[in-house]
Structure 1
């Protein structure tokens, strides 16, 4: 091998090394850009995103999670999220998490949480367990959202229905609820008024209880919004 060949071979190897270095650098830059884009997507989410280890120890949280619970990342990373779950619901959450398996790794649930001001709110969470090749849980990823307003509206509706039901059954007058002309519910006074049992009235055409000669007038009054003939 001549000195010239050796020099050319060395020059070629240096060139290949430089090209490999450039490719690696570009790949690293692309990876950094990809990670930054992924991080921006996570941080822009309005949902809460948290990754945690068995036992509840948090390893990652996004900004939405921190804002809702009024804490910084430094305060939550490395600590358990369970103290933020309302004490009444902790066992329920633990039992739901325990049901996750490699064949069924995802579960959704709702539970009460303690907000920064000490009041109780509601969260809905979708939890995914991540398993290793031996089927052991190595980590969990959870995505949640605040459903406090929805829960408050549901509770207010239930309370309103209970008050209406109480009034409905304690009214001195007979009251019936109809759907498409058929009776779907009524109070005791209504049944006594017509002398029927419950199973005889449910599903019955309400106009069948009105004297034939008065039906046209009753229908007219109903259409006009006046409920008494």
Structure 2
């Protein structure tokens, strides 16, 4: 009688080995960057978008970025004076919490700070974002939508009907309220109504240089952030 697949044991040794090798590779890559570049920055980011961050990478094509598991980055830097890879790097490791990354560069400090102080790109908010305003749609025709979208809009919570071939909102409808966390349905509705509520931005938190000097640049100001502790992969370039 053939064995049931439900009782078939799943070998985990190979998976664990691959995971360990990946983490080891990230640690080595970060430490190689520390040896290569003059300065290391810890930065936090808000409303990360791959397309926007690609532009940043292009502007810093002579530098390196690391975004991934915070625990792995901490290990690479050293979580204590006894573990640190270089003098005072453990202070940098203490700044790694939440949605953060590392920038390694030889660019002048003033140039780095000016660039990221100006960086702010408006975009659509994702689910989990805390609404910055109350958005209410008045009752009436919605000519921007085609008739075939009636059911999909209803599924998102909009009280609409098709009247004389035009989708019509039956009554005033509040998509979201200021200070409330957006649901997936609310986030989709904001896209439909072209409301860009969020901004992609990067904030420099601290700086370390090869001579062992550490500087705290700013306290985190971003509120709509998520922790990186459980991300599956490193995003270094």
Same fold (TM over 0.5): no
The structure number with the bigger radius of gyration is: 1
Query: Structure 2 length as normaliser, TM-score?
Result: 0.27
TM-score for the superposition, normalised by structure 1: 0.28
